[in-house]
Chains A and B, each alone.
Chain A
Amino acid sequence: MKIFLLYILVILAILLAVYLYRVLRGPTIFDRVLGLNGISTKAIILLIVIGVYFDRVDMFIDISTGYALLNLVGALAVAKYLEQKGAP
């Protein structure tokens, strides 16, 4: 079971790297914002899998919920900024 979860963690890290490529190379700012959103959804899943891996899901659920809320706040702040200033 541990080996299986470790494989899942590695595959999720590879997926994070794919999103990271879009954030780093993204020609426009919207690509970067979408990549950041994808990264945070993967990070939430990754946290829960880490929690299952360590048998402490109850604590990791809390941070993953905090991640999800913060992701929303950050995306709202970026959207507000782009609305006011226009895309560079």
Chain B
Amino acid sequence: MIFSYEIPLILLTLATAAGAIWVKDLISSVLLLGTYSFFLSLVWAWLGAVDVAFVEAVVGAGLATVLFLLTLFKTDPKDTRLRRPPPSLATLIVFPLLGVLLLYAASDLPEFGDPNSPASVHISPTYLERSYQDTHTPNVVTSVLMDYRSLDTMVETVVIFASGIACALLLRRKEK
């Protein structure tokens, strides 16, 4: 396919990411980060990773925006004023070099959807062939997350639960 639809989505994502550090006040930054997550989630959906897109929408656009706003509730206006010193010389040199290095490394990655890439030859065919007989779940991603790696998922849930409790303890109102 000559025209690839990722390019407009990537351009929109880059525009929001640049805007989030360009705007003057923090609340606009938070809103722009929510927009950024929406666009990133569209990119995931376009690449076919529906589950990742759903998580990006829930966590990035919904939960992170609400958590950032909760944090802004607790801050004074003098804390949210943005001072932006001009970038130092080291920043201007190191970060383009880092970008070039990452682009150079990305040229070694296998093509998207390549059946001979290392990720698709090791264990993925086994999952694709046997997951329905093993778990009776039509969605392979769900069966991997909830059955083959269920212990991993359970401990992740414990971590998220602990961090939720910590946030609730830190953000609770003081009782008079």
Residue ranges of A at the interface with B (Cβ–Cβ < 8 Å): 6, 9-10, 13-14, 16-17, 20, 23-24, 26, 29, 32-33, 36, 39-40, 43, 46-47, 50, 54, 56, 59-60, 62-63, 66-67, 70-71, 73-74, 77-78, 80-81, 84-85, 88
Contacts and interface: CB of A to CB of B under 8 A. Distances in A.
In terms of DSSP, what is the predominant structure of the interface of chain B?
helix
24 contacts: A10-B8, A13-B9, A13-B12, A14-B8, A20-B15, A20-B35, A23-B19, A23-B35, A24-B23, A24-B32, A26-B28, A29-B27, A32-B31, A36-B31, A36-B34, A36-B35, A46-B42, A60-B50, A63-B50, A63-B53, A67-B41, A77-B65, A81-B27, A81-B73
A71 to B, nearest CB: 8
Contacts of A80: 69
A33 B28 CA distance: 9
In terms of DSSP, what is the predominant structure of the interface of chain A?
helix
A60 B54 CA distance: 9
Contacts, number: 108
Contacts of A81: 27, 69, 72-73
Interface residues of B, number: 37
B55 to A, nearest CB: 10
Interface in B1-56: 3, 5, 8-9, 12, 15-16, 19, 22-23, 25, 27-28, 31-32, 34-35, 38-39, 41-42, 45-46, 48, 50, 53-54
